[in-house]
Structure 1
């Protein structure tokens, strides 16, 4: 499971034996927080989005197991939908695998008026909800394709540009892509970064040679801090002049480069999936299976080649391989639930971030040294004189240090990039 640091991950039932698990990713530019809904139906996840100053949105992800078709499960699911649809939100969006194959969504009917499917339909109608998926989203073998994955909203005009794409891997559920129309206030700040690989180092060296450093730095009568400030100011001017900048765009997940053949096979796979949904032709299905397997084989081959090249460059470009390894990490460690009373390990635990922060702040402050009240005692002044030995810094020593700088490292306290300094030797 790849995870991008540009998204916040919300999940439930990933640990333990309860349910199949649900994950929802929300872009970091959107203000999102999880909402706990008290329900006996366990497979659900709800998140609140602050879309604009005066509007909020409720996003819910629900999974109903096909093996649990009891009346109790159906009733708890309908109660859950009724409860969240009455919550005070500007927008409501529910998604998930509901596993109701007996519903004809074009006619809004079911095969049996006393079935759980019919009760589910009535629940949506009673809560003024609209179901937007009208094409089969799941098929397997000779089974009749059916609409199992649903997108439910209160306003049908908000869900647009829906597209059903071929399943991922060997899954039998389609990938559903759609847009939700609403007002969103997203604060975008354009950040700039210097491109040291495209800098004009020839022009930089020429101007450094022509610079009258004695005039800039003085005759040495000033203290070292004043001289350093002047030197740094001049170097920053040169850096701004000869090193171009570029705007940091949206970060993209590290993707494996695919050749033209692989991209064409993936495109053919998606086309066959759409064709099968329309015609239900067994020959098209068999052709789709062959193309899907071929696409998977080509992608695995490309991934193997990409990882092999990363391994070869591990010593010269260690950051790149670690970035790839971290992108494959399946978990992100956070702060576990904490006891509300640090002195009592049996006290109730909390998962609230603010409460955790207060508990940790209290614990850390408890080990601070407690100073007595009153005035701070004054230390007696001592006159210490140290004879400063004359130091000579050779030009070759400075050049050697500059040559050995690692250009893939971050800037130090002087805020000058190693690549910028290394080019000066």
Structure 2
């Protein structure tokens, strides 16, 4: 019995009980995703959001997605190209269907708009960054964009840093004057949007806390919970965790997959198990399948060990660093409870220490890796650092002009385009090659024997990674 026969163990579960579909959104302004990526990964592993939205990514087109890859997520980006800073991005967990809303991609505005579908839930989400020195004409374009989106999209959730510290969100009201903040507030009141953030989101030494980051929705029931977490690294913006909960009562069939370490299975016992298995009873097709599945599952349980879960954290992140991160979060909560300047100073100093510790731990890990004799570990680290799943590929259908994101449809479009490269070859005899084009050289006879094969195998490095060939 071949081990590939047991690659998957599937158990069908029927459920007609109420269940909750929960989507977690993590939003923050990072002011450089790359520089804070290591600690940000720890927060992602801890909070496990479904959707991640970041303003001020400071990414450039020359920075590949692999540098900021988060396992089991794909990224969508809109980078600032002409100057430093800015930019937005959205990560989404795999298996969530996503469509980029291109008609809302207004070029002067740093924003990203997605339609997402998960289970029976369909939402429109956006991440926006409005710099404090935005030109007047671009500010008007942003207001028109919000009006257009709020009137045309259902189930809309907008996350972003809008940089209006002077606005009072405790009691929004029409504002006199022609300032940018007054125009924003008056536009907000004229739409069906509701702003959900009520606490300060930016804390900087020497300045009063301010509310810059907003969550705008056109249905207050879209967000059930909002949590305020400590900033990432030395960022002065907090992390916001928002949750959408939906209740369903449907009969649903789903699968649960056990992760088994098949290379370490006892295949001698597996062969014996099936060799000695009694004849299959005379049953109908459905019951015969159930009988075989039960036997296979029992055999797998007895002879194939369960695989240990792989840690998605970086290898230099140890228990001590995780402990430091937890202390940092506690210091932040203490400061938010007391609002004392001394508590903020303690938090900020400890946060800087944690950032330095993480950076030094990564440098030390890479230094040890370079100086070690383990080529296998070195190339594995390089491969994991550079190979990543990037943004879902989007193609424009040649007939309809619509964007296609479904992997199967994308593959079919590639196959269709590839097929066009073939010519209809004539069916008559192949033409004779002219003498002046013939190559007089011939390949010498190659003698292969067992000893040559063994000598070649002995020269293969055992610590190098095998390629796809």
TM-score, normalising length: structure 1: 0.65
Matches within 5 A, 1:158-307: 158-182=222-246, 189-196=255-262, 198-200=264-266, 243-244=303-304, 246=306, 253-307=312-366
Structure 1 Cα separation of the partners of residues 410 and 94 of structure 2: 22
Unmatched tracts of structure 1, length 5 or more = 213-235, 341-348, 374-391, 414-425
Gaps of 5+ in 2: 1-33, 35-67, 277-295, 429-448
Residues of 2 paired with 1:56 and 1:288: CA distance? 39
Distance in 2 between residues matched to 1:138 and 1:289, nearest whole Å: 13
1:11 corresponds in structure 2 to 77
Alpha-carbon separation, structure 2, partners of 1:148 and 1:129: 17
Aligned partners of 1:411, 1:301: CA distance in 2, in Å?
32
- Distance in 1 (CA, whole Å) between partners of 2:317 and 2:151 is 47
Q: 1:372 aligns with which of 405, 412, 427?
A: 427
**Structure of larger gyration radius:** 1
Q: Any conservation in 1 of the 2:79–2:87 contact (CA below 8 Å)?
A: yes
- For 1:355 and 1:168, the matched residues in 2 are separated by 37
Whole-angstrom distance in 1 between the partners of 2:259 and 2:74: 24
Superposition deviation, residue 246 in structure 1: 3.9
TM-score (norm 2): 0.60
Alpha-carbon distance in 1 for matches of 2:395, 2:156:
30
The answer on 1:75 being equivalent to 2:140 is yes
Q: How big is each residue's C-alpha offset from its partner over 1:341-396, in whole Å with a ceiling of 9 and x where there is no partner?
A: xxxxxxxx9997779975884465334452439xxxxxxxxxxxxxxxxxx99xxx
Following superposition, the deviation at residue 276 of structure 1 comes to 3.3
Alignment CA distance shift 1:119-1:27 (3 Å): same
Greater relative contact order: 1 or 2 (C-alpha under 8 angstroms, separation 6 or more)? 2
1:289-317: CA deviation from partner (whole Å, max 9, x where unpaired) = 21011111222233234334544364244
CA change 1:298–1:93 in 2 (3 A) is: same
* Cα contact 1:204–1:242 (8 A) shared by 2: no
- Give the stretch that moved more between structures: 349-358 or 59-68: 349-358
Distance in 1 (alpha carbons) for counterparts of 2:253 and 2:177: 49
Report if the CA contact (8 A) 2:75-2:91 is conserved: yes
Match of 1:44 in 2: 111
Closer/same/farther in 2, CA of residues 187 and 273 from structure 1, 3 Å limit: farther
State the SS of the aligned residue for 2:152: coil
Using the alignment, how far apart are the partners of 1:106 and 1:84 within structure 2? 24
